[in-house]
Structure 1
């Protein structure tokens, strides 16, 4: 048994390449003598080690950033008043505009989150009462948001201007969709 195993091993070793590398052959240029452990990039957004994302917790944790943004905005406004250079003024105006847009987007996101929380509370109350919860479709949520927007515009008195702009936009779209007459 041992002899048969030894014979098979010796035959296989003859057909395979040698275990030692020839000293006469030059060493390759990019030869790794010691294997280097490859660094695996880790994206915290998708990694379980970073935990779950909860917007409410995030807002509470980083609430101090809003104060810093307000201070920065005030500084930019002061610089804009003092500035005499036209190019610098344009840059500062763009920066101020971007800051206000980010602020508005953040407020809009916060309102949406609050509306979702109100809906969730209603669902919980229905479940406590023993009724089956009713979940709104995405289109119904959008209709509710639009109704809320109209209410806010009506309060501020900007509803008419908003509707006139919307009518103009829709008229321009309709005009583009009409077939144009070609002259012969």
Structure 2
């Protein structure tokens, strides 16, 4: 029993001792050959000890080996590298530029539908501003009786009056459409079939309302005279040229 235990202990300690012995012999070999010249190392290799020579060379190479450097990943925003074999164009796009898309709010669905009644109510404060500007232009026109400044102020006042007349005309048309809508609604409540006017009939009604307004303001004759002159000029364009 004692012999079997000693054998097992010897077998267990055997590899460790062998490894320690190998390390010791390797260290001794390095210490012995550290001061040797190159000729002595060659002679050592020729004497039949190539294994020791390989261990020595491997030990020296591990010392001088540099640590492995990390691999650099190419940046996607780096400048574009052009090949020297291909001629570089004179005009090239260095940085990608996003194309700007123009958006017209008049024809875009994002701006919503145009409702003239809501628009006039929302921007009703502009009428007061226009009235103040008109009074200011009239005061400036009284100061400048003649000259280039007088002509500019006169044209500005005339344009403001035309815009005001156009706005009043649009307002009258809106009131007329609202009256027709209320009339159709009343007919539908009474059980009658509603009648929708054509665009030509709506224009005739608007023209009749305009004539009534001009007659009340005593401007009908001047309006008709301007209308006749305009129509005469149009007819004169279609006449054949006289041959001399």
1:22 and 1:90, CA in 2 relative to 1: closer, same or farther beyond 3 A? closer
1:42 and 1:182, CA in 2 relative to 1: closer, same or farther beyond 3 A? closer
| Post-superposition offset of 1:118 | 0.8
1:46 and 1:141, CA in 2 relative to 1: closer, same or farther beyond 3 A? same
Matched residues in 1 for 2:228 and 2:90: separation? 71
| Post-superposition offset of 1:61 | 1.2
Report Cα offsets for 1:17-48 as digits up to 9, x if no partner. xxx97442233333334432211111111111
- Whether the 8 Å contact between 2:105 and 2:111 is mirrored in structure 1 is yes
1:61 and 2:122 aligned: yes
Report Cα offsets for 1:124-175 as digits up to 9, x if no partner. 2222233221011122222222222232233233444545665666677778
- Alignment correspondent of 2:180: 119
- Whether the 8 Å contact between 2:138 and 2:157 is mirrored in structure 1 is yes
Map 1:75-154 → 2, pairs under 5 A: 75-154=136-215
Matched residues in 2 for 1:178 and 1:166: separation? 19
Matched residues in 1 for 2:234 and 2:97: separation? 61
**Gapped regions of structure 1 (runs ≥ 5):** 1-19
- Whether the 8 Å contact between 2:214 and 2:220 is mirrored in structure 1 is yes
1:47 and 2:104 aligned: no
Matched residues in 2 for 1:112 and 1:172: separation? 29
Matched residues in 2 for 1:37 and 1:159: separation? 59
Q: SS in structure 2 opposite 1:139?
A: helix
- Whether the 8 Å contact between 2:82 and 2:88 is mirrored in structure 1 is no
| Post-superposition offset of 1:92 | 0.5
Matched residues in 2 for 1:182 and 1:30: separation? 62
Q: SS in structure 1 opposite 2:139?
A: helix
- Once the two structures are overlaid, the 10-residue window that deviates more, 119-128 or 88-97, is 119-128
1:36 and 1:127, CA in 2 relative to 1: closer, same or farther beyond 3 A? same
TM-score (norm 2): 0.57
Query: CA-atom RMSD, angstroms?
Result: 3.0
**Gapped regions of structure 2 (runs ≥ 5):** 1-80
